[in-house]
A = this chain, B = another copy of it.
């Protein structure tokens, strides 16, 4: 028999905007796990109990758990229930996981680790891009650079252009897995940029290093591209470190 719904039952947005319910639940639980509210080994309440607590149906809850499980955050088995996986199984480079991490203040260590990864991957990608870039790649980089110069990094448009510039470089490297890393890294770049501007009103002008990098790729000089990209990331890191300890 069906239960009639009263007017209180109207679902308030769970601080999650217009997302689908399973998506919001996945995000909320994901953020809770990533921020340490649930720690590896913790067993979540049973399906029925927890879905009632969250005021969603068991199906929606289960779909949320499927999402988290696909990203390595939880594992569920009959009888033992659903538990938070070990950190080493978390898919830290998954774009959603990165987004959720930056939703609550990420640890300083994590940001440093991300820059360390950029320092490894992006110079190498820039060198490959200098060797393999097509005319179309160069056009896209050039356009992004122009946009970036026009808007500056304190606007959304400017940051989007910056991200497009880095993405164009990684795509010019013509390496599938590297491009997959690109969306993650590009996103991380954007968030750390927001971080910088949140705390520091007028950071260094980023255009000279970006232009130097662009020139190196246009010239098809892998070593110059590697060098300038290394310098660019190093400068971004030092800006971010300034923002971290004001």
Contact = CB atoms under 8 A, between A and B. Distances in A.
Nearest to A118: B177
Interface stretch (A5-13, A178-186, A198-206): A178-186
Interface stretch (A37-45, A64-72, A136-144, A155-163): A64-72
Contact of A66 (B63, B87, B179, B183): B63
A59 B57 CA distance: 13
B89 A91 contact: no
A54 interface: no
Interface of A: 22, 26, 59, 62-63, 66-67, 69-72, 87-96, 109-110, 113-114, 116-117, 120-121, 124-125, 128, 171, 175-181, 183
A128 B113 CA distance: 12
27 contacts: A63-B66, A66-B66, A67-B69, A87-B176, A90-B180, A91-B94, A91-B95, A92-B177, A92-B179, A93-B93, A93-B177, A93-B180, A94-B94, A110-B177, A113-B175, A113-B176, A113-B177, A113-B178, A114-B177, A116-B128, A116-B175, A117-B175, A117-B178, A117-B181, A120-B120, A120-B121, A121-B121
B22 A66 contact: yes
Contacts of A110: 176-177
Copies of this chain in the oligomer: 2
The 9 A-B pairs of least Cβ separation, nearest first, read A92-B180, A70-B70, A120-B124, A67-B70, A66-B66, A113-B175, A63-B66, A92-B177, A117-B177
A94 B95 CA distance: 11
Contacts of A70: 26, 66-67, 70-71, 96
